[in-house]
Amino acid sequence: MPQNLIRKSIGILLARQTNILSAAFIIMTTIILSQMLGLVRQRLLVGIFGASNTLGVYLASSRLPDLLFQLIVASALVSSFIPVFSDYLSKNKSDEAHKMASSLLAIGLVIFFILSIFLFVLAPFFLQIFNLGSGFSASQMALMADLMRIVILGQLVFIIGTFFSALLQSYNHFFIAGIAAVFYNVGIITGILLFSRSFGIFAPAYGMIIGALLFILIQFPMIRKVGFTFKPTLSFEVPGVMHVIRLMWPRTLTLSVFQLGTLATVTLISFLSNPGRNYVIFDYAQTLAFAPVALFGQAIAQAAFPVLSREKEKMEEFKLTFITSFNQMLYIVLPISVLFLVLRIPIVRLIYGASLFDWQATVLTGKMLALFSISIFAQSLIALISRGFYALFDTKTPLIIGTFTTVFFLCAGYISVLVFKLGVESIAVSYSIGAILNLVISLLIFYKKIGGFGGIQLFFPVFKIFLASFLTGIALYVPIKLLDQLVFDTTRTINLIFLTGISSLSGLILYLFLTWAFNVKEAKTFLLIFRKIGNWKEILSRSDEIIDGARLNP
């Protein structure tokens, strides 16, 4: 019987996902695994190297290769390759689709390889051009250049795995693509554990190469199963190739703005004293704050995107799907933001607490986490609104808004650091304000673009969710302080776990009760799901309960 259950469960995971809920479930499951391993990776790094300048140099070394990867590969896959490839499949033109994929992969590899050679050979020059090292010493800059060269090799391998993931997602196979990303983190962790004593800070960089290879190998059997064979050709005349290239440029510019903003953040931090240490704290706090954004915001937005695309000609259904996804996303991420805000220090201590991660670093990371948590809801909702624009074939508006708010964030950050001489916390404040500004502008323009929401309510339910979250935070703060000081000796890990666990569970129960009392529809939706959780296989296989999220509401 248990073997039967395991076999059927694996069968569901490996099968093609045919509706939003099953796709979102798979995406969230793999994101959870990836996030957990990502935190293990971060904990290992800080446990071995501490919140040091050396670790900061390693984290900064991946920024330029990431920029290159995002511009050449990610922009094409996210905004243009998957829709065009899926269109070929829907017309039963799999041979043409595979030929186009082979051409794009070959072209992407060649372009990335040529640019990588320049980046590899002239690493110190490019680092200075982008002003990444204005606050780093000469030896730290040399180390950053050497690490960047290794990261480039890993990215070259990673491109192939990324194309494999796009192919599998086009065939509605989300599990293998997701679990392969999990094994990327496994590779980095393996590199840290095996090589840190011999190679020091180079160990995680070597781990990136191991992880990229695992990323390919895990997906390869399923790639063969869907019938794809890589037949490289460098022709731009292959049907579909130019279509992808024409569609990708607005998304490429959007990612360019984002990535350049990330590089500029490194520059901002480099003007502070101990730039490496400050960058570690910034990166680690941002990683924690981004976890719910990736888990809920991006997963729900990614799963809703195909439905929004199909409903663009039926505007009332489009609006209903958008608002349902909007409210459900907000309902999930807002209480998590409150928990991060209230439990910032215990969370940081539990996840990053290590002998070399000192108390001052813990306190500052907790403060940064609190400042980032203010905008978790905004970052999550932006992912959904952007896909709403994309579903309406509008890729320019998110680009313009993103450019404006990124410039705002950088200007605010530069003024804070260079004029008022504030610390790294001011950069987090500027980032959060920029994200909230992005959300407000995006929502207003989107509202106007679709002609309003008609008779569908949005703002009153949102107000009730915000009120319930605020009251939950107020109700949790005093008891947590009392438990910390009078009941639990939080110098011991087990007591810290109890404090965090009891507080989090109490807060979520209170939030659920308040939203139920305020008659928030999403509370009833999730209570219904919880009642059905024992019948999860049936829920995930039924499409009539999923395509329209409002059907879950009584």
Q: Is the pLDDT of residue 395 over 60?
A: yes
384's tokens? 């959904």
Report the distance separating Cα 431 and Cα 412, nearest Å.
9
99's tokens? 């030929």
* pLDDT at residue number 488: 57
Q: Are 413 and 432 in contact (CB under 8 A)?
A: no
Angle at 239 between CA 233 and CA 245, to 5 degrees: 85
How many Cβ atoms are within 10 Å of 154's Cβ, its own excluded?
Answer: 25
238-275 in b/e burial notation, b at 16+ Cβ within 10 A?
A: bebbeebbebbbbbbbbbbbebebebbbbbbbbebebb
Nearest alpha carbon to residue 299 among 17, 42, 24:
24
255's tokens? 């990612």
Q: Decide if 354 is inside a domain.
A: no
Q: Is the pLDDT of residue 214 over 80?
A: yes
350-354, 453-457, 458-462, 503-507: the lowest-pLDDT one? 453-457
Number of residues that make up the chain: 554
Q: Decide if 229 is inside a domain.
A: yes
263's tokens? 């590089």
* Most confident among 168-172, 342-346, 410-414, 508-512 (mean pLDDT): 410-414
Q: Sorting pLDDT into bands at 50, 70 and 90, what band is 532?
A: very low
Residue 449 CA from chain centroid, whole number: 27
Q: Sorting pLDDT into bands at 50, 70 and 90, what band is 64?
A: confident
* Most confident among 133-137, 431-435, 529-533 (mean pLDDT): 431-435
201-215, 313-327, 376-390, 414-428: the lowest-pLDDT one? 313-327
**Number of compact structural domains in the chain:** 1
Q: Decide if 407 is inside a domain.
A: no
Q: Are 226 and 86 in contact (CB under 8 A)?
A: no
Q: Is the pLDDT of residue 101 over 80?
A: yes
Report the distance separating Cα 354 and Cα 56, nearest Å.
17
Residue 422 CA from chain centroid, whole number: 28
What mean pLDDT do residues 155-177 have?
A: 84
What mean pLDDT do residues 324-345 have?
A: 89
* pLDDT at residue number 21: 55
Q: Decide if 284 is inside a domain.
A: no
* Number of alpha helices (DSSP H) and beta strands (DSSP E) in the chain: 24, 0
Q: Decide if 37 is inside a domain.
A: yes
Q: Decide if 175 is inside a domain.
A: yes
Q: Decide if 47 is inside a domain.
A: yes
What mean pLDDT do residues 119-136 have?
A: 72
Q: Each residue of 282-328: pLDDT tens digit?
A: 988 998 998 889 888 887 787 777 678 777 778 888 888 888 889 88
Q: Sorting pLDDT into bands at 50, 70 and 90, what band is 22?
A: low
Farthest CA pair distance, the chain: 72
Q: Are 246 and 94 in contact (CB under 8 A)?
A: no
Indicate the SS3 state at residue 354: strand
Structural domain harbouring 65: 11-247
Q: Is the pLDDT of residue 526 over 90?
A: no
Nearest alpha carbon to residue 105 among 230, 242, 213, 214:
230
Q: Decide if 341 is inside a domain.
A: no
Q: Are 292 and 380 in contact (CB under 8 A)?
A: yes
Q: Sorting pLDDT into bands at 50, 70 and 90, what band is 122?
A: confident
